[in-house]
Amino acid sequence: MRFEEAYSGNVFIKSHPNLEESQVVIYGMPMDWTVSFRPGSRFGPAKIREVSLGLEEYSPYMDRELEEVKFYDAGDIPLPFGNPQKSIDMIENYVDNILEAGKFPLGLGGEHLVSWPIFKALHKKYDDFAIIHIDAHADLRVEYEGEPLSHSTPIRKACELIGPENVYSFGIRSGMKEEFQYAKESGMYMAKFDVAEPLKEVLPELSGRNVYVTIDIDVLDPAHAPGTGTAEAGGISSKELLEAIMLIAKSEVNVIGADLVEVAPIYDHSEQTPIAASKFIREMLLGWVK
Amino acid sequence: MRFEEAYSGNVFIKSHPNLEESQVVIYGMPMDWTVSFRPGSRFGPAKIREVSLGLEEYSPYMDRELEEVKFYDAGDIPLPFGNPQKSIDMIENYVDNILEAGKFPLGLGGEHLVSWPIFKALHKKYDDFAIIHIDAHADLRVEYEGEPLSHSTPIRKACELIGPENVYSFGIRSGMKEEFQYAKESGMYMAKFDVAEPLKEVLPELSGRNVYVTIDIDVLDPAHAPGTGTAEAGGISSKELLEAIMLIAKSEVNVIGADLVEVAPIYDHSEQTPIAASKFIREMLLGWVK
Amino acid sequence: MRFEEAYSGNVFIKSHPNLEESQVVIYGMPMDWTVSFRPGSRFGPAKIREVSLGLEEYSPYMDRELEEVKFYDAGDIPLPFGNPQKSIDMIENYVDNILEAGKFPLGLGGEHLVSWPIFKALHKKYDDFAIIHIDAHADLRVEYEGEPLSHSTPIRKACELIGPENVYSFGIRSGMKEEFQYAKESGMYMAKFDVAEPLKEVLPELSGRNVYVTIDIDVLDPAHAPGTGTAEAGGISSKELLEAIMLIAKSEVNVIGADLVEVAPIYDHSEQTPIAASKFIREMLLGWVK
Amino acid sequence: MRFEEAYSGNVFIKSHPNLEESQVVIYGMPMDWTVSFRPGSRFGPAKIREVSLGLEEYSPYMDRELEEVKFYDAGDIPLPFGNPQKSIDMIENYVDNILEAGKFPLGLGGEHLVSWPIFKALHKKYDDFAIIHIDAHADLRVEYEGEPLSHSTPIRKACELIGPENVYSFGIRSGMKEEFQYAKESGMYMAKFDVAEPLKEVLPELSGRNVYVTIDIDVLDPAHAPGTGTAEAGGISSKELLEAIMLIAKSEVNVIGADLVEVAPIYDHSEQTPIAASKFIREMLLGWVK
Amino acid sequence: MRFEEAYSGNVFIKSHPNLEESQVVIYGMPMDWTVSFRPGSRFGPAKIREVSLGLEEYSPYMDRELEEVKFYDAGDIPLPFGNPQKSIDMIENYVDNILEAGKFPLGLGGEHLVSWPIFKALHKKYDDFAIIHIDAHADLRVEYEGEPLSHSTPIRKACELIGPENVYSFGIRSGMKEEFQYAKESGMYMAKFDVAEPLKEVLPELSGRNVYVTIDIDVLDPAHAPGTGTAEAGGISSKELLEAIMLIAKSEVNVIGADLVEVAPIYDHSEQTPIAASKFIREMLLGWVK
Amino acid sequence: MRFEEAYSGNVFIKSHPNLEESQVVIYGMPMDWTVSFRPGSRFGPAKIREVSLGLEEYSPYMDRELEEVKFYDAGDIPLPFGNPQKSIDMIENYVDNILEAGKFPLGLGGEHLVSWPIFKALHKKYDDFAIIHIDAHADLRVEYEGEPLSHSTPIRKACELIGPENVYSFGIRSGMKEEFQYAKESGMYMAKFDVAEPLKEVLPELSGRNVYVTIDIDVLDPAHAPGTGTAEAGGISSKELLEAIMLIAKSEVNVIGADLVEVAPIYDHSEQTPIAASKFIREMLLGWVK
């Protein structure tokens, strides 16, 4: 499948009409079949696009406008309902294509398992890269009730793929005892509860490196992101997440791709979650794509 | 797995404490991973039990009380998230056990694919049985976008298993052209749009036969059942569905099991869908279990 | 425009500013403390008034306009939270005053127990009157889990006060076995499931009599009235309830008062329940007050 | 403005990619600034398109598939917020273009005032045509609180433009006394409360004539269409509206265009209103475009 | 109890019955026709009044009770639907009257355009005054898609009317590039993102001056105010807004009037936005009216 | 009544199957009949249990797992609807039994009045104990509109029972003037607005004492807990409440029991309030039961 074919209509505001001329490809991964609690993130990408129409094109945070970054919203990958293995293969293949074309992949989830095939595709292209993981959940399980393909496992798989010393987690406030033990013993970095302060400490040591950033919207407190499947009290504010995006933008790391996952619109009738997500996407575009 | 182990707390009102002494086993199938539109029916069984607390134990329709039928609510089968094949195998095995114990299986969905393994289990026990299928959708697809395990296929599979001449569909108002053609040409029975009137015509010819009844809540108009994944305008009222349950109760068919599927609570904030579903379950217990 | 004129207040649309000149007193009874399932009907009266602003003043059913009936909306009686006995006493006293002033009492509930003190006040004034009771529930319990003051008891109390032969129930589809037995054996009239057809049969025998009408909004199917505490599937449509109101209006009975109870706005985000209720109130005013 | 420019992404399922080859143009009119009660119908067209993805392409009512009718969804006309006069002028001009191109205009509202400029455009093209108006409200006001441009006036304006004898209203259950008097005295046709039965009577006399059909979604009971601004209890079911669409499809009238207005998604969290509306649009396409 | 006493009305809690004796006039401006995204603020004033019933009359922030300030809630100005120019003229005329009577105008919006005619009325009365503007949006546009009367323009108009050096904006986090450039170059004051800290710096320089304060509820993060039309992530908490109100109360500025706008109740089912707004109004009354 | 009998199905995750072997008894008090504003907290305990299924069993805050504390969830006490006095008596008797059995009582409300009978039961067992009260409201009224049994009175009653010098309130931001005066003059401790900072100051002086902790969920800002009856803007975040629970856990006080009250699920469709509450219960179990 070529990714032009996935086009489904609805696009992120100011999406460039031409793929070839674009630096960035925005693509949706409408998958939620392995989630263990409340499904619905399959509609996240479409809703983020829909409410992006209410966004200003200018960011007072980055002092930059959307027209300064050429991005092409390729729509959703048509993932097969209820088939995680095939979905993962399709995503990996899709991101292979984006990387081959020299574009910056900016993915919209969907459940967090979608990041796993992206890591695999990146691993084929880059000798060496690090992952910044911003999330309420450790996602370090080996399996979930017997299923190795689960939304609770992608960061563990990442550690095994690129080495735990290249994985940096922030904001973590939920997981099994074994996950926190693994974090301590494996050599990965994990900051519990907070994001901005520990980022300030860690970013200097990542200077000059290629970094992929994966953000699970549930790192926000449910007050700021009620529209997600596994809400977890005690999270950060959207103001702190905006600060984190700015910190990365102003650092010396070289962002090579990013995703934002787990927006599940049905649990949020005020639409504040997808509205916030669309703003984060704007900031990621303006701050991380040079 | 023995089904005693699946017990999870929350039970249908007046559930009997003892399995052995019960005629009926109520069991939940919290699965929604192959649905093509809006997920959420995994929470249907739990919600139906929860709101059953508001039910009267007496039915003025059947002039009978819940204590006159001994039923055991065994809770939900712990189906593995995102794994349709394994889920189906577990359901089939589970219903095998119920049938072997000589109990009446009364299943709560979950998506409609859950009926397929039930049909298979029944087929092993009964030489000959018919299916009454009450639904908005034909569910006669061979596959859905390449996936043979889909919530759009169980009735087609049933036709292939027990012969289309033993399958009777009612209330159908949605499907592909091919599905309606198959219905016409295969020899199965299909009543479009209505349920009660065609049932009156068909029930006499089913007299004395073993019959399994599968009800998809979306046969109701979305006015009466907003809490479902694939709402389809132009359906019947809950009054007509109650009449249909009574018609079967008063007929000469021998009901050997039943299910009620596709209640997705998240789309219905007034809870009218699970409240109605719990009433239908009460009527099925009082009318169909002699 | 002077700004004094902009004052709106929260009263039923076209409420007359002067009590003395009015034929009717509309009054709210914001009480829900004895309900056994979902509370919230305390906000029913205020919401019915609020959405009455969207009503047309003319009724094409009655071919009459609101200005043809002088009614005064007196607001809510300030009932003491959590004190059923005192609340009931206050309502009785309040309706005594209305009747003494020669006005037509039109009450807004609140839970159905509020009708009991109204019956008592009427009984002091009228030697002989009948009750038309339109409801999903029989409300014929002697007590509810030990509490004689319960929203499940007012019609039983009415039977004991004015004699069961003067009580006519319509639309009943829920209750305990004992309640249906009492209905059969006591000599009261009860029509199960339907309203309009049985009304046509019964109204002639009520010709010339004084009749009080109490309507529980849950006689409607939850499709038509999701905003109520004890929703019960299988009800009538709002079209049938409008027809019932018209049948009474065109009959020879002398309506001496009425109430509409159990609107609980919180369960209905579309506000269709209070919107429908405000229309029923308009029709009751135009059809029943001569 | 040429209408190609209004394209906004999101399109009705199976929209043809090419305008020139299409028989029908679907266009949205996202305007709600003159509504007197609850706004929000500006989001109706986008939502109807969005949920159309859940539609089957085949209709068992018409026994026809969407690919048999070529239609082009041109997106929403970019109407200026808060400027009714300019909005109306833009719509008239837009429909002029559609008619000039020989296409069938199928409009999505928006408030009902949007039909007024369509009537004007049709009047320039057709010497003689009739209007079938299906609605809860008479919409026969001369003005609304001093404003002649109001969602309560389009049918009155139509009567004045093409003669009341060419206007046929169905399902009307709300309006001022003056509106019902005008209906009686002017020579227009008005059926109160019902749609299908009176249509059966009237359609023969419209045989062979050019007819434009305007449907206000609030003709449905709020049970079937909670997502609308001015809900009015006592309406018809979606089953009856589907029957009405079929009656027109099977009659001898020549439908020259149509619209469906007043879907306001925010009041309907279950999305049943836009889901029903998208089905009606499918039936209108398959039944009315030959 | 006589039933006349039960009359409640829909006014802000503790509204004084007599206009002449009051220092303050509360008035609603139910207008939302020029908003570019989600309408619904027309119902803001009524909802704020309704939920004010849940407020305590005493403020532990100001250590003062509502009875210490005499205010008269005059209800909503009956603005004509869909006519911005006439609406603006009516508001200006209305505020002229309040000012002429020597009262403090406390306005409830409605969209933010309603502040523009208030500025004009104040300008006629006061030679010299400053504006404190607390908002997520700069509102500095010259026009919005060609319409000069838009909810995105009032602060620009204010700058032109009273001089940009008299306009102080706080909390701004959204706007076009041109708006931020204008803010920098024009000489007005603009604090991005925060409110309380910059207020502490600026208030001393406003000592002794007449100041009008306009608060757009969307300065709050959507977590704290989901019920608004143009939600913008990254805002302040309600605790910070309460602090800002206290800072102004304790400063040496002379507050000559105020408004609170853009509460749109339909997007907030928990009612937290109007509940918060009613508390802010109480604090404004107790803190700003001496 | 023995508390084993109150068992109703649905239990908190990891509830121990055996009462005798447990250190803690979790019990629900489904009562909301004296609340003055929005009812619904009767469903709080059931909902907190239901969503506890989504909790991790490990706490990264306490570094402890649920299996390290044996607790038995005894279900809800079957309180009589609308009868506050009898409800209170039943709760007192119930807690007497828990204390007699030497278990730690962990109660789930229900309205805050439920804490009053708990205080009485503790007073019989302990010569000397203190109360930590975390709440938005002072709850120091003598009566509420004439009713001494009200959700606004329990802390006043506590002061009278065990002496005001043993009562410590935190986070208070709402009440009558008289309540704040009583707080000042009586000798009790009250921290306005904040919780964590004042706790740090006060906990040392409580070292070694027996302390009962009662938490009203409305101490959280409505952003963090929309699902409560009397929402009050300007509250603390769930992060701060988690910190407060940890401060108590790490202090030298001896917690002898606790409750969490006023969760009213109906006002919170995202379920963030009961989800947060279930996490607080986990932390209270892991932090306060040694």
Q: What is the DSSP secondary-structure string of chain F?
A: --GGGG--S---TT--S-STT-SEEEEEE---TT-SS---GGGHHHHHHHHGGGS-SEETTTTEEGGGS-EEEEEE--PPTT-HHHHHHHHHHHHHHHHHTTPEEEEEESSGGGHHHHHHHHHHH-SS-EEEEE-SB----S-BTTBSSSTT-HHHHHHHHH-GGGEEEEEE-B--HHHHHHHHHHS-EEEES-SHHHHHHHGGGGTTSEEEEEEEGGGB-TTT--SSSS--SS-B-HHHHHHHHHHHHHSS-EEEEEEEE---GGG-TT-HHHHHHHHHHHHHHHHH--
Select from C58, C63, C272 the Cβ nearest to the Cβ of D226: C272
For chain D, what percent of residues have pLDDT higher than 90?
87
Q: Is F135 on the interface with E (CB under 8 A)?
A: no
Per-residue pLDDT tens for D10-27?
A: 789 999 988 999 999 999
Closest CA in chain B for residue C227: B270
8 A C-beta contact, residue A89 and residue A117 = yes
Per-residue pLDDT tens for D36-90?
A: 889 999 999 999 999 998 899 999 999 999 999 999 999 999 999 889 999 999 9
Q: Compute how many other C-beta atoms are within 10 angstroms of the C-beta atom of residue E144.
A: 19
**Distance from E75 to chain C by nearest Cα, in Å?**
4
In this prediction, residue D9 has a pLDDT band, given cuts at 50, 70 and 90, of low
What Å distances lie between residue E132 and E209, E211, E253, CA to CA? 12, 7, 11
C-D CB pairs within 8 A amount to 68
Distance between CA atoms of E260 and E276, rounded to whole angstroms? Answer: 11
Distance between CA atoms of B67 and B23, rounded to whole angstroms? Answer: 12
For chain D, what percent of residues have pLDDT higher than 70?
97
Phi, psi of B51 (to 5 degrees): -80, -10
Select from F40, F83, F84 the Cβ nearest to the Cβ of C39: F40
Which is nearest to F12 in space by CA: F287, F288, F282, F201? F282
Q: Is B149 on the interface with A (CB under 8 A)?
A: yes
Closest CA in chain C for residue B277: C233
Closest CA in chain B for residue C191: B60
Contacts (Cβ under 8 Å, ≥6 apart) of F160: none
Q: Is C1 on the interface with E (CB under 8 A)?
A: yes
Q: Which two tokens stand for residue A288?
A: 């991380």
What is the average pLDDT across A218-227?
98
Which is nearest to B40 in space by CA: A84, F279, A265? A265
H helices present in A35-173, as ranges: 44-51, 84-100, 115-125, 154-162
Strands B24-29 and C254-261: unpaired
Distance between CA atoms of C147 and D179, rounded to whole angstroms? Answer: 53
Q: Is C290 on the interface with D (CB under 8 A)?
A: no
Closest CA in chain D for residue B177: D58
Lowest mean pLDDT among B173-182, B260-269, E3-12, F194-203: E3-12
Per-residue pLDDT tens for A190-219?
A: 999 999 999 999 999 999 999 999 999 999
For chain A, what percent of residues have pLDDT higher than 70?
97
Alpha-carbon torsion angle B164, B168, B170, B175, nearest 10: -10
In this prediction, residue B173 has a pLDDT band, given cuts at 50, 70 and 90, of very high
Residues of chain C with Cβ-Cβ distance to D231 below 8 Å are 270-272, 275
Quickly list DSSP for D90-137: HHHHHHHHHHHTTPEEEEEESSGGGHHHHHHHHHHH-SS-EEEEE-SB
Distance between CA atoms of F75 and F72, rounded to whole angstroms? Answer: 9
E-F CB pairs within 8 A amount to 68
In this prediction, residue A9 has a pLDDT band, given cuts at 50, 70 and 90, of low
b/e B39-58 (16+ beta carbons within 10 angstroms → b): bbbbbbbbbbbbbbbbbbeb
What Å distances lie between residue A171 and A279, E5, E13, CA to CA? 20, 56, 43
Strands A130-134 and A210-216: parallel
Q: Is A56 on the interface with E (CB under 8 A)?
A: yes
Residues of chain E with Cβ-Cβ distance to D40 below 8 Å are 38-40, 266
Which is nearest to C215 in space by CA: C122, C103, C137, C104? C137
Q: Which residues pair with C134 in a beta bridge?
A: C170, C215
The strand ranges marked E within C30-178 are: 58-59, 64-65, 71-76, 104-109, 130-134, 167-172
Q: Is E146 on the interface with F (CB under 8 A)?
A: no
Tallying the residues shown for chain C, one arrives at: 290
Distance between CA atoms of F45 and F31, rounded to whole angstroms? Answer: 10
Residues of chain E with Cβ-Cβ distance to F226 below 8 Å are 270, 272
What is the average pLDDT across D148-161?
92
Return the pLDDT at D151. Answer: 86
Residues of chain E with Cβ-Cβ distance to A54 below 8 Å are 37-38, 230
Interface probe for E, chosen from D81, D153, D230 (most Cβ of E below 10 Å), is D81
Which is nearest to F208 in space by CA: F257, F163, F251, F159? F251
b/e C237-252 (16+ beta carbons within 10 angstroms → b): bbbbbbbbbbbbbebe
Return the pLDDT at C164. Answer: 98
Residues of chain B with Cβ-Cβ distance to A84 below 8 Å are 82-83
8 A C-beta contact, residue F200 and residue F247 = yes
Distance between CA atoms of E242 and E279, rounded to whole angstroms? Answer: 9
Could you give the ipTM of this predicted complex?
A: 0.93
Return the pLDDT at D209. Answer: 98
pLDDT at A125 over 70: yes
Q: Do B146 and A82 touch (CB under 8 A)?
A: no
Residues of chain D with Cβ-Cβ distance to C58 below 8 Å are 175-177, 180
Closest CA in chain D for residue B233: D276
For residue E106, the SS3 value is strand
Rounded-to-5 percentages of helix, strand, coil across chain B: 40, 20, 40
8 A C-beta contact, residue A194 and residue A170 = yes
Return the pLDDT at A8. Answer: 41
In this prediction, residue B115 has a pLDDT band, given cuts at 50, 70 and 90, of very high
Angle in degrees, CA B44, B47, B53, rounded to 5: 145
Distance between CA atoms of D130 and D135, rounded to whole angstroms? Answer: 16
In this prediction, residue B6 has a pLDDT band, given cuts at 50, 70 and 90, of very low
Residues of chain C with Cβ-Cβ distance to F32 below 8 Å are 39
8 A C-beta contact, residue B62 and residue B249 = yes
Q: Is A180 on the interface with F (CB under 8 A)?
A: yes
Q: CB-based burial of residue F208 (10 Å sphere; 0-12 exposed, 13-18 middle, 19+ buried)? A: exposed
Q: Do B147 and A84 touch (CB under 8 A)?
A: no
Contacts (Cβ under 8 Å, ≥6 apart) of E197: none
Return the pLDDT at E35. Answer: 86
Helix axis angle, F154-162 to F177-186, nearest 10°: 20
Return the pLDDT at D277. Answer: 98
For residue E172, the SS3 value is strand
Q: Is A39 on the interface with F (CB under 8 A)?
A: no
Return the pLDDT at A144. Answer: 82
Rounded-to-5 percentages of helix, strand, coil across chain D: 40, 20, 40
Which is nearest to A19 in space by CA: A30, A3, A35, A31? A3
CATH of domain B3-288: 3.40.800.10
Q: Compute how many other C-beta atoms are within 10 angstroms of the C-beta atom of residue F83.
A: 24
pLDDT at F17 over 90: no
* Residues in chain C, pLDDT under 70: 1-9
Distance from chain centroid for Cα F163: 20
Residues of chain C with Cβ-Cβ distance to B265 below 8 Å are none
* Residues in chain E, pLDDT under 70: 1-9
Per-residue pLDDT tens for F19-45?
A: 999 999 999 999 998 888 899 999 999
Mean per-residue pLDDT over chain B, rounded: 94
Lowest mean pLDDT among A67-71, A126-130, E78-82: E78-82
What are the domain boundaries of chain A? 3-288
In this prediction, residue F9 has a pLDDT band, given cuts at 50, 70 and 90, of low
Strands C64-65 and C58-59: antiparallel
Contacts (Cβ under 8 Å, ≥6 apart) of A266: A40, A43, A227, B38, B40, B266, B267
**Chain F partners (3+ C-beta pairs within 8 A):** A, B, C, E
Which is nearest to E228 in space by CA: E193, E196, E192, E260? E260
Return the pLDDT at C149. Answer: 86
8 A C-beta contact, residue A91 and residue A114 = yes
